[in-house]
Amino acid sequence: MTAYTKERDAVYGYKIRSVTITRRLRSLDPEESLREPLNMKPRQNEMHRQPADSISEPRNWHPGNLSTIRGTIQEHILGSGRQEAVAVFDFDNTCIFRDVGQAVFRYQMLHLRYRIPPGAFAALLPDREIHLTGRPLAVITTALIDAYEYLWAFIGSGEQDKARLTTEYRLFTTLLLWFADQARRDERLGPSYVLPFMGKMLAGHSLTDLRALAREVLTATTAEPLTKQTLTMDLPAPLGHIAASYSQGLHAHREMDDLMRMLAQAGIDSYVISASTEWLVAEAIQQLGFPVPEERIFGIRVRIDDQGLLTADNVADYPVTFREGKAEIIRRFIARPLILVAGDADTDYEMLTLPDVPVRILINRNQPGLISSLYQDPRILLQGLDLRSGRFRPHRESIPA
């Protein structure tokens, strides 16, 4: 038995051997499961399992949460009525600390890794007579379009380094980051606009190129400190002083990886439904070593054209994987009873409150808004974090950053 297996057995408090499950007879010994992966594709680069000494880090589930999870899984194994039950996880800030979609968005922006022509970019921006924090939307979008048109010549010739020395680059990056943040907060636009917008900014990439970009971003962000950076610029009225911040750093929550493997050993399939672009999440899951095959991953999608390139078009008859859209994915595409759901934010509210779910895990990021109404809900297993380190802590409450 490996040190990793011994530690996990100590954390989860049980070890199962030769349990009969109606779907399949198999040994549920953790060591056997690690020797024989559950028909998962080989993982190319398990970033969160390196360096080797990180394996000895203690898990930090709240003990009451872990007891409930363990007891529910044991009941599932011994019972006969829920053998088709599945677990559904949000990904960003639930399975990992930080957000892979936002990480790719800001990396693409800062490095000008665009393939979307200026006209297509302009078509993505809303044409509405509204204001964002007192600034006319038309002035904001015009400034973004003008700056992007100027930068496009550099992008087309592969001279991004030269572009980054220009005033237009500073204006574009600062204003785009600010716009995405303010639009997400605005009731008239909100996440239902911004989340697909971030995916559509990837237009022109092939899936192969997109996965390579995701790997590049993961390599960069997993090496970053957990800090915030702020972009600022003073622009003529009515825009004025613009400031926008983004978070650096990213790592996997190993407790969630362990949980998925424990579920798999009990014959329970894990699914991921994310509000980030689906192909980015699929690559992050593979690179970070989570045991979820690609066919069980759902996220923001765009249409792919006949040349295999992403477009800025929506996919017909497919929901935006945000709030009610996540619940719709569960009903229409998964269509199996739930034994567990896990999330962290307003985007997960509807799936966290679906009926007849034995285990509901809510990562406590001290969020305001709708999700905070669940922090005291007795149905919820609230899991605390140390937001300074981005790690689980064995409490319901979280320590602020």
**Tens digit of pLDDT for each residue in 54-83?**
323 448 999 999 999 999 999 998 886 556
pLDDT attached to residue 83: 65
- Directed axis angle between helix 254-265 and helix 63-78, to 10°? 20
What does DSSP assign to residue 268? -
pLDDT attached to residue 42: 39
pLDDT at 11 over 90: no
The residues, any chain, with a CB within 8 Å of residue 352's CB and separated by 6 or more, are 341, 343, 360, 362, 374, 380
Helix (H, G, I), strand (E, B) or coil at 247: strand
The model carries a pTM of 0.87
DSSP E strand stretches across 287-336: 297-300
- How far apart are alpha carbons 249 and 278 in whole angstroms? 20
Provide, rounded to the nearest whole percent, the portion of the chain with pLDDT above 90: 83
pLDDT attached to residue 232: 98
- What's the pLDDT band for 19 if we cut at 50, 70, 90? very low
Q: Is 214 in contact with 281 (CB distance < 8 Å)?
A: no
The whole-number average pLDDT for the span 330-342 is 98
Q: Is 143 in contact with 175 (CB distance < 8 Å)?
A: yes
User: Tens digits of per-residue pLDDT, 371-397?
Assistant: 999 999 999 999 999 999 999 999 999
Q: Is 262 in contact with 339 (CB distance < 8 Å)?
A: no
pLDDT at 3 over 90: no
pLDDT attached to residue 20: 33
User: Tens digits of per-residue pLDDT, 90-130?
Assistant: 999 999 999 999 999 999 999 999 999 999 999 999 999 99
- How far apart are alpha carbons 329 and 334 in whole angstroms? 7
Helix (H, G, I), strand (E, B) or coil at 398: coil
Mean model confidence pLDDT for the chain:
88
pLDDT at 38 over 70: no
pLDDT attached to residue 58: 47
- What's the pLDDT band for 8 if we cut at 50, 70, 90? very low
The whole-number average pLDDT for the span 318-344 is 98
Cα dihedral sign for 355, 294, 278, 100? Answer: positive
User: Tens digits of per-residue pLDDT, 169-210?
Assistant: 999 999 999 999 999 999 999 999 999 999 999 999 999 999
User: Tens digits of per-residue pLDDT, 239-257?
Assistant: 999 999 999 999 999 999 9
8-17, 54-63, 227-236, 275-284: least confidently modelled range: 8-17
The whole-number average pLDDT for the span 256-267 is 96
Name the nearest CA neighbour of 106 among 196, 180, 157. 180
List of domains in the chain: 3-98+252-392 (3.40.50.1000), 100-247 (1.20.1440.320)
User: Tens digits of per-residue pLDDT, 282-325?
Assistant: 999 999 999 999 999 999 999 999 999 999 999 999 999 999 99
Q: Is 88 in contact with 271 (CB distance < 8 Å)?
A: yes
The whole-number average pLDDT for the span 24-35 is 33
306 residue type, one letter: D
